[in-house]
Chain A
Amino acid sequence: MIVADRKSLSEIQDMVRDCRKILLVGCKGCVTVCNVGGLKEVQVLAATLRIAAKIEGRPLIVEETVLERQCDPEYVEMLKPVVDNFDAVVSMACGVGPQFLSEAYPQQRFFPAVNTTFFGGAVAHGIWEERCAGCGTCIIHYFDGMCPVARCSKSLMNGPCGGSDHGKCEISRNINCIWDMIVRKKTEQGRLNDLLDIVPAKNWQTARDGGPRQSRREELIQNG
Protein backbone atom coordinates (compact mmCIF):
# COMPACT_ATOMS: atom_id res chain seq x y z
CA MET A 1 0.00 0.00 0.00
CA ILE A 2 0.93 3.65 -0.12
CA VAL A 3 2.23 4.76 3.24
CA ALA A 4 1.97 8.30 4.51
CA ASP A 5 2.66 10.37 7.60
CA ARG A 6 0.49 13.10 9.02
CA LYS A 7 1.91 16.54 8.36
CA SER A 8 2.77 18.57 11.40
CA LEU A 9 -0.06 20.54 12.88
CA SER A 10 1.64 23.87 12.30
CA GLU A 11 2.09 23.13 8.62
CA ILE A 12 -1.59 22.33 8.21
CA GLN A 13 -2.54 25.35 10.30
CA ASP A 14 -0.48 27.57 8.02
CA MET A 15 -2.29 26.23 4.96
CA VAL A 16 -5.73 26.98 6.33
CA ARG A 17 -4.90 30.12 8.28
CA ASP A 18 -7.15 32.35 6.18
CA CYS A 19 -10.08 29.92 6.20
CA ARG A 20 -13.22 30.13 8.31
CA LYS A 21 -14.80 26.96 7.11
CA ILE A 22 -12.96 23.90 5.93
CA LEU A 23 -13.76 20.35 5.00
CA LEU A 24 -11.49 17.48 5.96
CA VAL A 25 -11.73 14.57 3.57
CA GLY A 26 -10.36 11.19 4.53
CA CYS A 27 -9.83 8.25 2.23
CA LYS A 28 -10.86 4.68 2.91
CA GLY A 29 -7.99 3.28 0.89
CA CYS A 30 -4.34 2.90 1.82
CA VAL A 31 -4.28 5.79 4.27
CA THR A 32 -6.99 4.23 6.40
CA VAL A 33 -5.05 0.99 6.47
CA CYS A 34 -1.87 2.76 7.48
CA ASN A 35 -3.80 4.62 10.17
CA VAL A 36 -3.15 8.11 8.85
CA GLY A 37 -6.13 9.31 6.88
CA GLY A 38 -9.24 7.33 7.77
CA LEU A 39 -12.30 8.61 9.58
CA LYS A 40 -10.59 8.42 12.93
CA GLU A 41 -7.66 10.58 11.88
CA VAL A 42 -10.09 12.97 10.22
CA GLN A 43 -11.85 13.32 13.58
CA VAL A 44 -8.58 13.77 15.43
CA LEU A 45 -7.32 16.46 13.06
CA ALA A 46 -10.69 18.20 12.98
CA ALA A 47 -10.86 18.34 16.77
CA THR A 48 -7.28 19.56 16.95
CA LEU A 49 -7.87 22.34 14.44
CA ARG A 50 -11.01 23.42 16.24
CA ILE A 51 -9.15 23.53 19.54
CA ALA A 52 -6.40 25.57 17.91
CA ALA A 53 -8.92 28.04 16.53
CA LYS A 54 -10.64 28.33 19.87
CA ILE A 55 -7.34 29.04 21.59
CA GLU A 56 -6.73 31.82 19.10
CA GLY A 57 -10.30 33.04 19.44
CA ARG A 58 -10.75 32.67 15.72
CA PRO A 59 -13.93 31.40 14.10
CA LEU A 60 -13.42 28.11 12.34
CA ILE A 61 -15.86 25.48 11.25
CA VAL A 62 -14.37 22.10 10.42
CA GLU A 63 -16.51 19.44 8.84
CA GLU A 64 -15.50 15.83 8.43
CA THR A 65 -16.09 13.26 5.73
CA VAL A 66 -14.46 10.23 4.16
CA LEU A 67 -14.49 9.06 0.55
CA GLU A 68 -14.26 5.45 -0.50
CA ARG A 69 -11.14 6.45 -2.47
CA GLN A 70 -9.83 9.78 -3.64
CA CYS A 71 -8.12 8.29 -6.65
CA ASP A 72 -11.27 7.56 -8.65
CA PRO A 73 -13.34 10.32 -10.22
CA GLU A 74 -16.65 8.65 -9.37
CA TYR A 75 -15.93 8.80 -5.66
CA VAL A 76 -14.48 12.27 -5.94
CA GLU A 77 -17.73 13.26 -7.64
CA MET A 78 -19.55 12.58 -4.36
CA LEU A 79 -18.21 15.78 -2.85
CA LYS A 80 -19.96 17.86 -5.44
CA PRO A 81 -23.01 18.90 -3.36
CA VAL A 82 -20.88 20.30 -0.57
CA VAL A 83 -17.48 21.15 -1.99
CA ASP A 84 -18.27 24.80 -2.59
CA ASN A 85 -19.54 25.39 0.92
CA PHE A 86 -15.98 25.64 2.23
CA ASP A 87 -13.10 28.05 2.02
CA ALA A 88 -10.77 25.15 1.43
CA VAL A 89 -10.71 21.37 1.46
CA VAL A 90 -7.99 19.41 3.27
CA SER A 91 -7.34 15.95 1.91
CA MET A 92 -5.99 13.25 4.16
CA ALA A 93 -5.34 10.91 1.24
CA CYS A 94 -1.97 10.28 -0.37
CA GLY A 95 -0.65 12.82 -2.83
CA VAL A 96 -3.02 11.48 -5.45
CA GLY A 97 -6.11 12.59 -3.53
CA PRO A 98 -5.75 16.37 -3.48
CA GLN A 99 -4.80 16.28 -7.15
CA PHE A 100 -7.84 14.32 -8.25
CA LEU A 101 -9.94 16.64 -6.10
CA SER A 102 -8.27 19.68 -7.64
CA GLU A 103 -8.88 18.41 -11.15
CA ALA A 104 -12.55 17.70 -10.39
CA TYR A 105 -13.20 21.02 -8.70
CA PRO A 106 -10.97 23.64 -10.31
CA GLN A 107 -12.67 26.46 -8.40
CA GLN A 108 -11.80 25.07 -4.96
CA ARG A 109 -8.51 24.98 -3.06
CA PHE A 110 -7.20 21.64 -1.88
CA PHE A 111 -4.48 21.08 0.69
CA PRO A 112 -2.66 17.91 1.63
CA ALA A 113 -2.71 16.91 5.31
CA VAL A 114 -0.27 14.06 4.89
CA ASN A 115 3.17 13.47 3.46
CA THR A 116 3.08 10.50 1.14
CA THR A 117 6.19 8.55 1.93
CA PHE A 118 6.51 5.21 0.19
CA PHE A 119 5.07 1.95 -1.05
CA GLY A 120 5.36 -0.53 1.75
CA GLY A 121 3.64 -2.55 4.38
CA ALA A 122 3.27 -2.99 8.12
CA VAL A 123 6.04 -5.18 9.50
CA ALA A 124 4.31 -4.91 12.87
CA HIS A 125 1.32 -2.91 14.01
CA GLY A 126 2.41 0.70 13.96
CA ILE A 127 5.62 0.14 11.97
CA TRP A 128 5.62 0.43 8.22
CA GLU A 129 8.58 -0.16 5.96
CA GLU A 130 9.39 0.66 2.36
CA ARG A 131 9.48 -2.22 -0.08
CA CYS A 132 9.03 -0.79 -3.56
CA ALA A 133 10.36 2.28 -5.34
CA GLY A 134 8.00 2.00 -8.30
CA CYS A 135 10.92 1.98 -10.75
CA GLY A 136 8.83 0.39 -13.48
CA THR A 137 11.16 -2.55 -14.11
CA CYS A 138 11.03 -5.12 -11.40
CA ILE A 139 14.27 -6.98 -10.80
CA ILE A 140 13.62 -8.61 -7.46
CA HIS A 141 13.73 -12.07 -9.00
CA TYR A 142 17.51 -11.62 -9.19
CA PHE A 143 17.64 -11.00 -5.47
CA ASP A 144 15.39 -13.67 -4.04
CA GLY A 145 12.44 -11.39 -3.57
CA MET A 146 14.32 -8.45 -2.10
CA CYS A 147 14.64 -5.13 -3.84
CA PRO A 148 17.95 -3.26 -3.62
CA VAL A 149 16.54 -0.35 -5.61
CA ALA A 150 14.02 0.48 -2.88
CA ARG A 151 15.76 -0.93 0.13
CA CYS A 152 19.47 -0.15 -0.28
CA SER A 153 20.19 3.43 0.77
CA LYS A 154 22.43 3.75 -2.26
CA SER A 155 20.29 1.57 -4.55
CA LEU A 156 23.39 -0.53 -5.18
CA MET A 157 22.91 -3.30 -7.70
CA ASN A 158 26.18 -4.95 -6.75
CA GLY A 159 26.24 -4.47 -2.99
CA PRO A 160 26.81 -4.62 -0.10
CA CYS A 161 28.69 -1.37 0.19
CA GLY A 162 30.84 -1.93 3.28
CA GLY A 163 29.03 0.20 5.80
CA SER A 164 26.53 -2.25 7.24
CA ASP A 165 26.75 -3.08 10.91
CA HIS A 166 25.20 -6.14 12.47
CA GLY A 167 22.91 -6.44 9.50
CA LYS A 168 21.76 -2.84 9.76
CA CYS A 169 22.26 -0.11 7.19
CA GLU A 170 24.90 2.51 7.95
CA ILE A 171 22.29 5.24 7.81
CA SER A 172 20.06 3.88 10.61
CA ARG A 173 20.00 1.09 13.12
CA ASN A 174 16.28 0.68 12.38
CA ILE A 175 16.85 -0.16 8.74
CA ASN A 176 17.97 -3.63 7.71
CA CYS A 177 20.85 -3.79 5.25
CA ILE A 178 19.09 -5.41 2.32
CA TRP A 179 22.38 -6.59 0.87
CA ASP A 180 23.20 -8.32 4.08
CA MET A 181 19.85 -10.08 3.82
CA ILE A 182 20.35 -10.95 0.16
CA VAL A 183 23.82 -12.39 0.79
CA ARG A 184 22.58 -14.31 3.80
CA LYS A 185 19.66 -15.83 1.94
CA LYS A 186 21.74 -16.73 -1.08
CA THR A 187 24.34 -18.29 1.22
CA GLU A 188 21.71 -20.28 3.09
CA GLN A 189 20.27 -21.52 -0.16
CA GLY A 190 23.72 -22.36 -1.50
CA ARG A 191 23.28 -20.02 -4.43
CA LEU A 192 25.89 -17.39 -3.61
CA ASN A 193 27.27 -17.80 -7.13
CA ASP A 194 24.27 -15.85 -8.42
CA LEU A 195 25.83 -12.79 -6.88
CA LEU A 196 29.17 -13.14 -8.63
CA ASP A 197 27.75 -11.91 -11.93
CA ILE A 198 27.95 -8.18 -12.28
CA VAL A 199 24.50 -6.68 -12.60
CA PRO A 200 24.67 -4.13 -15.40
CA ALA A 201 23.55 -0.53 -15.04
CA LYS A 202 19.81 -0.15 -14.75
CA ASN A 203 17.66 1.41 -17.40
CA TRP A 204 15.80 4.13 -15.52
CA GLN A 205 13.49 5.09 -18.37
CA THR A 206 10.59 3.22 -16.85
CA ALA A 207 11.09 5.00 -13.55
CA ARG A 208 10.08 8.55 -12.69
CA ASP A 209 13.33 9.58 -14.44
CA GLY A 210 11.65 8.84 -17.73
CA GLY A 211 9.05 11.52 -17.03
CA PRO A 212 5.54 11.28 -15.56
CA ARG A 213 4.13 7.91 -16.33
CA GLN A 214 0.89 6.70 -17.70
CA SER A 215 -0.35 3.16 -17.81
CA ARG A 216 -2.72 2.25 -20.59
CA ARG A 217 -4.70 -0.92 -21.09
CA GLU A 218 -6.28 -0.66 -24.47
CA GLU A 219 -8.71 -3.51 -23.87
CA LEU A 220 -10.09 -1.73 -20.85
CA ILE A 221 -10.43 1.72 -22.32
CA GLN A 222 -14.10 2.45 -23.01
CA ASN A 223 -14.98 3.76 -26.41
CA GLY A 224 -16.77 7.05 -26.81
Chain B
Amino acid sequence: MSDAFEPTIIAFCCKYCAYAAADLAGSMRLSYPANIKISQVPCTGRVDIVHLLKAIEDGADGVYVAGCMEGDCHFVSGNLKALKRVTCVKKTLAELGMEPERVEMFNLSSAMGPRFAEIAIEMTDRIRKLGPSPVRRQPQPEAAAE
Protein backbone atom coordinates (compact mmCIF):
# COMPACT_ATOMS: atom_id res chain seq x y z
CA MET B 1 0.00 0.00 0.00
CA SER B 2 1.20 3.48 -0.78
CA ASP B 3 1.38 6.56 1.42
CA ALA B 4 -1.39 8.04 -0.63
CA PHE B 5 -3.93 5.56 0.74
CA GLU B 6 -7.02 7.47 1.74
CA PRO B 7 -9.45 5.25 3.62
CA THR B 8 -13.18 5.61 3.37
CA ILE B 9 -14.80 5.36 6.77
CA ILE B 10 -18.48 5.35 7.55
CA ALA B 11 -19.68 6.52 10.95
CA PHE B 12 -23.16 5.64 12.17
CA CYS B 13 -23.95 8.52 14.47
CA CYS B 14 -26.79 8.92 16.91
CA LYS B 15 -28.71 12.09 16.19
CA TYR B 16 -28.85 13.03 19.87
CA CYS B 17 -25.17 12.97 20.63
CA ALA B 18 -22.48 12.12 18.12
CA TYR B 19 -24.26 13.75 15.20
CA ALA B 20 -24.77 16.91 17.24
CA ALA B 21 -21.15 16.73 18.42
CA ALA B 22 -20.09 16.57 14.78
CA ASP B 23 -22.11 19.70 14.12
CA LEU B 24 -20.49 21.34 17.11
CA ALA B 25 -17.05 20.41 15.79
CA GLY B 26 -18.14 22.28 12.69
CA SER B 27 -19.30 25.32 14.63
CA MET B 28 -15.96 25.31 16.40
CA ARG B 29 -14.22 24.98 13.02
CA LEU B 30 -12.20 22.04 14.25
CA SER B 31 -10.46 20.22 11.49
CA TYR B 32 -10.52 16.47 10.98
CA PRO B 33 -9.94 14.19 8.00
CA ALA B 34 -12.49 14.21 5.19
CA ASN B 35 -12.38 10.41 5.15
CA ILE B 36 -15.20 10.24 7.67
CA LYS B 37 -18.74 10.16 6.25
CA ILE B 38 -21.63 10.17 8.63
CA SER B 39 -24.84 8.19 8.31
CA GLN B 40 -27.33 9.50 10.84
CA VAL B 41 -29.44 7.14 12.94
CA PRO B 42 -32.11 7.98 15.52
CA CYS B 43 -30.26 5.90 18.12
CA THR B 44 -27.28 3.60 17.85
CA GLY B 45 -29.68 0.88 18.96
CA ARG B 46 -30.96 1.07 15.37
CA VAL B 47 -27.57 0.04 13.98
CA ASP B 48 -27.90 -3.61 13.08
CA ILE B 49 -25.11 -6.15 12.63
CA VAL B 50 -26.34 -6.38 9.06
CA HIS B 51 -25.67 -2.66 8.51
CA LEU B 52 -22.11 -2.99 9.75
CA LEU B 53 -21.43 -6.09 7.65
CA LYS B 54 -22.99 -4.38 4.66
CA ALA B 55 -20.51 -1.54 4.95
CA ILE B 56 -17.60 -3.99 5.19
CA GLU B 57 -18.94 -5.95 2.25
CA ASP B 58 -19.24 -2.75 0.25
CA GLY B 59 -15.57 -2.08 0.87
CA ALA B 60 -15.49 0.22 3.88
CA ASP B 61 -11.96 0.51 5.22
CA GLY B 62 -13.36 1.40 8.63
CA VAL B 63 -16.75 1.51 10.27
CA TYR B 64 -17.71 3.01 13.57
CA VAL B 65 -20.76 3.58 15.64
CA ALA B 66 -20.90 6.68 17.82
CA GLY B 67 -23.55 6.86 20.50
CA CYS B 68 -24.33 8.64 23.71
CA MET B 69 -22.26 8.25 26.85
CA GLU B 70 -23.06 5.02 28.68
CA GLY B 71 -26.03 5.65 30.89
CA ASP B 72 -27.13 8.67 28.86
CA CYS B 73 -28.85 6.97 25.93
CA HIS B 74 -31.91 8.96 24.95
CA PHE B 75 -33.65 5.60 24.60
CA VAL B 76 -32.31 4.06 27.81
CA SER B 77 -29.90 1.46 26.48
CA GLY B 78 -29.61 1.56 22.69
CA ASN B 79 -25.93 2.43 22.92
CA LEU B 80 -25.22 -0.61 25.07
CA LYS B 81 -26.93 -2.85 22.54
CA ALA B 82 -24.91 -1.21 19.79
CA LEU B 83 -21.70 -1.98 21.67
CA LYS B 84 -22.64 -5.66 21.83
CA ARG B 85 -23.30 -5.73 18.12
CA VAL B 86 -20.01 -4.01 17.35
CA THR B 87 -18.26 -6.56 19.54
CA CYS B 88 -19.99 -9.37 17.65
CA VAL B 89 -18.93 -7.95 14.26
CA LYS B 90 -15.36 -7.60 15.52
CA LYS B 91 -15.42 -11.33 16.27
CA THR B 92 -16.73 -12.10 12.81
CA LEU B 93 -13.99 -10.01 11.22
CA ALA B 94 -11.37 -11.84 13.24
CA GLU B 95 -12.79 -15.14 11.98
CA LEU B 96 -12.52 -13.78 8.46
CA GLY B 97 -8.88 -12.93 9.05
CA MET B 98 -9.66 -9.22 8.95
CA GLU B 99 -8.51 -6.72 11.57
CA PRO B 100 -11.28 -6.30 14.16
CA GLU B 101 -10.06 -2.75 14.83
CA ARG B 102 -11.66 -1.69 11.58
CA VAL B 103 -14.93 -1.65 13.47
CA GLU B 104 -15.34 0.37 16.63
CA MET B 105 -17.83 1.80 19.09
CA PHE B 106 -17.45 5.26 20.62
CA ASN B 107 -19.45 7.16 23.21
CA LEU B 108 -19.68 10.91 23.42
CA SER B 109 -22.10 13.65 24.34
CA SER B 110 -23.49 16.33 22.07
CA ALA B 111 -21.26 18.91 23.76
CA MET B 112 -18.11 17.01 22.85
CA GLY B 113 -17.27 18.60 19.50
CA PRO B 114 -13.52 18.33 20.10
CA ARG B 115 -13.89 14.68 21.03
CA PHE B 116 -15.74 14.03 17.80
CA ALA B 117 -12.83 15.48 15.85
CA GLU B 118 -10.38 13.48 17.95
CA ILE B 119 -12.24 10.26 17.22
CA ALA B 120 -12.30 11.06 13.50
CA ILE B 121 -8.55 11.64 13.54
CA GLU B 122 -7.88 8.58 15.67
CA MET B 123 -9.97 6.32 13.46
CA THR B 124 -8.49 7.67 10.23
CA ASP B 125 -4.96 7.19 11.54
CA ARG B 126 -5.79 3.72 12.71
CA ILE B 127 -7.21 2.69 9.34
CA ARG B 128 -4.39 4.37 7.41
CA LYS B 129 -1.97 2.17 9.32
CA LEU B 130 -4.03 -0.94 8.62
CA GLY B 131 -4.18 -0.13 4.92
CA PRO B 132 -7.08 -0.71 2.56
CA SER B 133 -9.75 -3.19 3.50
CA PRO B 134 -8.84 -6.68 2.31
CA VAL B 135 -12.23 -6.66 0.64
CA ARG B 136 -10.90 -3.99 -1.69
CA ARG B 137 -7.32 -5.20 -1.82
CA GLN B 138 -8.08 -8.15 -4.07
CA PRO B 139 -8.98 -7.51 -7.69
CA GLN B 140 -12.64 -8.36 -7.64
CA PRO B 141 -13.90 -10.91 -10.14
CA GLU B 142 -16.78 -10.09 -12.39
CA ALA B 143 -19.99 -11.26 -10.87
CA ALA B 144 -21.04 -14.51 -12.47
CA ALA B 145 -23.88 -14.11 -14.89
CA GLU B 146 -27.26 -15.40 -13.82
Docked CA distance A85–B146 (Å)? 8
The bracket for how many chain B residues form the interface is 20 to 34
Docked CA distance A219–B59 (Å)? 58
Query: Chain A residues with Cβ under 8 A from B56's Cβ?
Result: 47, 51
**Contact, CB under 8 Å: A20 / B144:** yes
Docked CA distance A51–B58 (Å)? 8
Interface hit among B23-31, B95-103, B108-116: B95-103
**Contact, CB under 8 Å: A55 / B97:** yes
**Contact, CB under 8 Å: A47 / B57:** yes
**Contact, CB under 8 Å: B96 / A61:** no
Docked CA distance A34–B142 (Å)? 37
B71 within 8 A of A: no
The bracket for how many chain A residues form the interface is 20 to 34
Other-chain contact of B50, A43, A56, A85 (Cβ < 8 Å): A43
Per-residue interface assignment for chain A, residues 56 to 89, with 1 indicating a CB less than 8 Å from any chain B CB and 0 otherwise: 1111010000000000000000000000010000
In this complex, what residue of B is CB-closest to A55?
B134
Docked CA distance A101–B35 (Å)? 47
- Check A9/B96 contact, CB under 8 A, given A50-B57, A54-B138, A56-B138: yes
Other-chain contact of A51, B48, B53, B143 (Cβ < 8 Å): B53
Interface residues of B (CB under 8 A from A): 48-50, 53-54, 56-57, 92, 95-98, 134-135, 137-144, 146
